[in-house]
Structure 1
Amino acid sequence: MSPALELAAFAGLMAIGQFSPGPDWLLVTRTALSEGTGNGVRTAAGIATGLVFHVGLAVGGLAGIFRTEAAWGKAVACLGAAYLLWMVVGLLRHAGEIPELGEIRSRGEAYLRGFLTNLLNPKVVLFVVATTSPFLAGDHPRWWPWAIGGIVIAQGFLLWCLWAWLLQWPPVKQGYRRAAKWIDRVFAGLLVILAVVLVLECVAI
């Protein structure tokens, strides 16, 4: 397989994993629907920053710490679950509240939410490691790891930005505004499930 085709196959695999339901998807979706494209893009930027850390672990061969050092894996899992539950509390407190564009003040908070949600999810680094390992194996040029890492980060940012933009389609926005309170409660319930699953799966690391 040529390098170009191999990189294209890797990009496709990462895209499938990126849009599987998880904390990042829920956060970008809810933020874009309730706060608009701007904060959706800022959330995507935060997620991409978290991916820099995960890519560093994968490409640098340091991800084994989550397998060999159980305390580290458990600590990150517990922090991630606690952060998701903290987001649930805020989501339920403000369920159905849709600020107007001029009222959206917390631009830095949107970025920070994206960064922490991605960073504190050990399943992300495990997915990145599992996905990149086969493509990093074998004989490749020196620039190859940089290309693989760049695809993870750039695609993670650009596809989430595109998703935030697509969610501004008027029928979608109007539907969200009509059912915002119930949709926010569903999002909160899904985050609780993800937090529980995170603890159950990662405590055993």
Structure 2
Amino acid sequence: MDAAIPELLAFAGIMALGQFSPGPDMLLLTRTALAEGGRAGVATALGIATGLSVYGGLSVGGMAVVLDKAPALRQAMMWVAAAYLLWLGYKLLRECFIVFYSGAKAGEALALKGSPYVRGLLCNLLNPKVMVFLAAVVAPFLRGEHPEWWPKALWGVIAIQGGTLWALWALLLQWRPLREGYKKAQPVIDGLFGLGLVALAVKLVWP
């Protein structure tokens, strides 16, 4: 058991680096926390963690091979994910357009609607690259002999650490000077977030 602890900590470190790498989840979470506050940010983080826990369970259980053997399914999921990211990007860019060309004040234009939790869940769950990443990271840690609790511990790191660190990030973004700076430049920043989501959508399906 003692030998398994350092290995588990190494796995947790790799997962933390993956969590905070640029991607749709981090972009959506950051914008939601800045624009809608800490509660919405935490809800988004929990939605992302829920999707991650599903893919984590499939990866730990060895089911990620399904996507490798069904490229058409994987491609279809990527197109659905790209469409969802494009829709989110369109909503943000439309908000910026309204602010710049109608004289509306920042925050008074159309914003992303619906549950932040569902937004986070769909953003993560519709992206099959999450499972591909998890399968690649988990596979080496499943080799060799481990205690019976080992697969459950890996899943716990994926799900619990994911939700906790993302929620903490959402709360850190509530720092007053940061929020005030965002509000002053909201149209420009939201426009960059929108363009970022569109770019990620294109990258997701680019050959």
- Spell out the pairing of 1:56-205 with structure 2 (5 A cutoff): 56-95=57-96, 97-98=106-107, 109-200=115-206
CA deviations on 1:104-159 (whole Å, 9 max, x unpaired) are 9x6x6100000000001111111111111111111111110000001000111000
> 1: distance between equivalents of 2:142 and 2:203?
29
Which one-letter code corresponds to 2:79 in the other structure? C
8 A Cα contact 2:89 2:196, kept in partner: no
8 A Cα contact 2:92 2:191, kept in partner: yes
> 2: distance between equivalents of 1:91 and 1:116?
17
> 2: distance between equivalents of 1:11 and 1:122?
21
8 A Cα contact 2:34 2:182, kept in partner: yes
Which one-letter code corresponds to 1:27 in the other structure? L
> 2: distance between equivalents of 1:37 and 1:136?
36
Indicate whether 1:30 and 2:36 are aligned. Answer: no
- Spell out the pairing of 1:15-26 with structure 2 (5 A cutoff): 15-26=16-27
> 1: distance between equivalents of 2:9 and 2:173?
26
> 1: distance between equivalents of 2:161 and 2:57?
16
8 A Cα contact 1:81 1:195, kept in partner: yes
Identity of aligned residues (%): 52
Deviation at 1:93, TM superposition (A): 2.4
CA deviations on 1:136-194 (whole Å, 9 max, x unpaired) are 11111111000000100011100011100110111111110111000001011111111
> 2: distance between equivalents of 1:72 and 1:53?
17
Partner of 1:42: 43
Structure 2: gaps (5+ residues)? 100-105
Residues paired across the two proteins, number? 196
> 1: distance between equivalents of 2:78 and 2:65?
15
Q: Secondary structure at the match of 1:149?
A: helix
Deviation at 1:34, TM superposition (A): 0.4
Q: Secondary structure at the match of 2:62?
A: coil
- Please, which moves more after superposition, 66-75 or 87-96? 87-96
8 A Cα contact 2:93 2:195, kept in partner: no
> 2: distance between equivalents of 1:66 and 1:200?
18
TM-score by length of 1: 0.91
> 2: distance between equivalents of 1:137 and 1:94?
49
Partner of 2:8: 7
> 1: distance between equivalents of 2:124 and 2:173?
21
> 2: distance between equivalents of 1:52 and 1:167?
24
Structure 1: gaps (5+ residues)? none
Q: Secondary structure at the match of 1:94?
A: helix
8 A Cα contact 1:35 1:98, kept in partner: no
Q: Secondary structure at the match of 2:206?
A: helix
> 2: distance between equivalents of 1:149 and 1:16?
16
Partner of 2:103: none
